[in-house]
Structures are given as C-alpha cells and as structure tokens.
Amino acid sequence: MSWTRGPTVGRGSSAAVSVAAAPGSGDVFAVKSAEASRSDSLRRERAILAELDCPHVVTYRGWDVTREAGGRRVCNLLMEYAPRGTLADAAAAAGARGGRLGEPAVRWCARGILRGLEYVHGRGVAHCDIKGQNILVTGEGPKIADFGLARRVGGDWAAEGPVGGTPLFMAPEVARGERPGFAADVWSLGCTVIEIATGRPPWADVSDPISAIHRIGFSGESPEIPSFLSEQCRDFLSKCLRRDPSERWSAGELLRHPFLEEVGEEAPEFLSEEAQTKIPDTESPTSVLEQAAIWSSLENSEPCHPLLQRSPPNRPPGERIQQLIGEWSANSIPPPQMPNWEQDESWVTVRSSEESREAPETSPRANANANEEEE
C-alpha cells in the first residue's frame, strides 16, 4: 500500500507519531515511526497490538518498512487515527472546570479504560504505562494506546529489556524495580482518574523524577485522594491505590464497583461542548474525504518530529530537569500541568524500555511504494 506521511501529532521516548493517508483509497491513519536499527520497542509493540481486537484498544492497521533521506530504513507501525486527541488533552480543554472533568465524565472514561484493561489482561498482557496521555478519546469511548512498554505477564522479561513507565503513574512495585503485573495497570488507572478529576497530576508536590520513584517505591504512601470527590469515587480509588498489588481490585472487579453503576453508553458533555474548540466533535475518520482539514494538512506535510532527527549535545542533568519542570509548584494557580517526564536522549537512564540512543533524521514524507521485507 502506498501512503503519504502528514504532520507530526505526538511523540514517545523512541518514536514519532504522524497522521498519514493512502492517496489511492483515501484512508487516514496514524503512523508511529522509528529507525530500523532502534526499533526493538516498536517491533514488540507491533507484535502485541496485532493480536488485540477490542473497541477500547487502538486498532492495528499494518506494518511497513520504508527508505528515508540518506537511505535510512525506518519501521512504521500503522494504527487507527483518533482526531479528538488524548484524555489528558480533553481534561486540559475543560477550562470552565479548571482543567478537570466532572464525575459523570470521569465515570465514563474509567469504565472504558477498564473494559480495555480487562480485555488486554485477559490476553496475558500488562500495558505498563497507563496515563491520560496514552488514552485516546473517541465518540465510542476511550481507547488504550501506546503499547511500547507493554509486557506479556509470565513471559521472558529479560529478553524484553528493563521495565519502564512514567514515574508519577508508576505502581510501588514498579518503582522498586520489580516485575509489573496486571495490578500495576490498576494503580496507574487510579492515578489517571486523579489526574482527570482534579486537573493535577498524582503526587502533585513531587519536584523531580528520582524523588518520585523513591517516594512511590519506599515511603509507604499513596497519592492523596481529594476530599471533594464523591464517597463512591474515593472508595473506587482506594481499591486501585492499595500499595500491596495482591490487595488491589482487578479490572473486572472494578467494573462492578458502585462508582461505575448506571454509566450510560452515550459520550458525556465534555466531548460535545466543553472541549469543542480543542477536540473536534467528529468521529474518527477513515477517509480523507471525511475531514477536509486533514487533507489540507497532508498537502503541506511537516517533517517528522525532531525526535527522529539528530539530537543536540547532552546538557547537565540539573539543567535538563529544570527545563522540564520550570518553576512548578503544588500550589501554583492556575493548577500546573504535569511535568514532562518523557525519556529522551538527554536523560541518564534509570529504568526504561530500551537503552537511550541517538535518533535519526527522516524525510518529511514516506512513500510505502518502497516496501521492503522485514528482517
């Protein structure tokens, strides 16, 4: 299949995500790309995602290897495109509520994520990085995305590299370097509910990732559950945020919690009113003919994310941390956005999905007519 790469819409620790279109059919999809020599994580993600088929998990569309500028081989994971953005975007766009969602919307989102987790866990997979930025919002419900750190529970963990994750959303056992199981995703779900229900990240008073990992892993504390939430919501969170993973409720048990009773299937108001300017009130298009703005953006496509270009020289860790967190304070008004803990080439790796390496340059477009056999 021939396809054209459009604008970059996101990034991970080792790959860039772009909108793409197939000129012949008009299909629109997302493409996650990484240089072939640095694509171990992307290949693992493909192997897992290709086996999943659930309304609450992003849909796998295919795999392609292309030649980019300078003859570099780039691996491309083709996936469903969700133009509404992420759950973190949706919460931030709810300006009338101070960047947080009301409980009806929180219930709807939590149920959808749990449905996805119940399915994924039933196939023996732990996602290992649940957070608002990795949940896509659609009219049909939230969809779990970014399986770059996912692991098969009971599989060969050593062969898949060190365990990673986002510090503020890590379960205590993961912060201590233990193997995560399904319960680690439940803890991260609880942190995500706090994130969207309060407009603040969990552990809002933490100032750097090393402190976060130590506090989460060894302090004996759990994230604060705000008192303004309903009793049912607070009880739901208490079942997610038990420090002993054996005591946390499973995804299936949480789906039967009273907090999620009587949640309708219809999308809540934040998709149609509060976030209208940030998240278009449209369904995920399957064709460029369904959304003219996407076609226009593809005509003027942008280069791949700088992550796939040569990295700048490393800077001192203190300067790097200050850049990420700025003058961030738990008492900031308006509430602060969550610091960007994403790993990149300037970090000294503590725990990650794969060793940090220098990233390549790519061309603005990828023509999949240059298909090659995967090695």
Cα four-point dihedral sign 284, 289, 295, 299: positive
Name the residue type at position 8: T
Catalytic residues: 129
Detail the residues annotated as belonging to a binding site for ATP.
32
d(CA 61, CA 87): 22
Q: Residues 284, 155: contact at Cβ < 8 Å?
A: no
Classify 30 in phi/psi space as left (phi over 0), alpha (psi -120 to 50) or beta: beta
Give residues with Cβ within 8 angstroms of 341, minimum separation 6: 166, 167, 168, 209, 324
Q: Residues 193, 230: contact at Cβ < 8 Å?
A: no
CA-based nearest residue to 77, from 112, 40, 128: 40
Q: Which two tokens stand for residue 244?
A: 């002993």
Detail the residues annotated as belonging to a binding site.
32
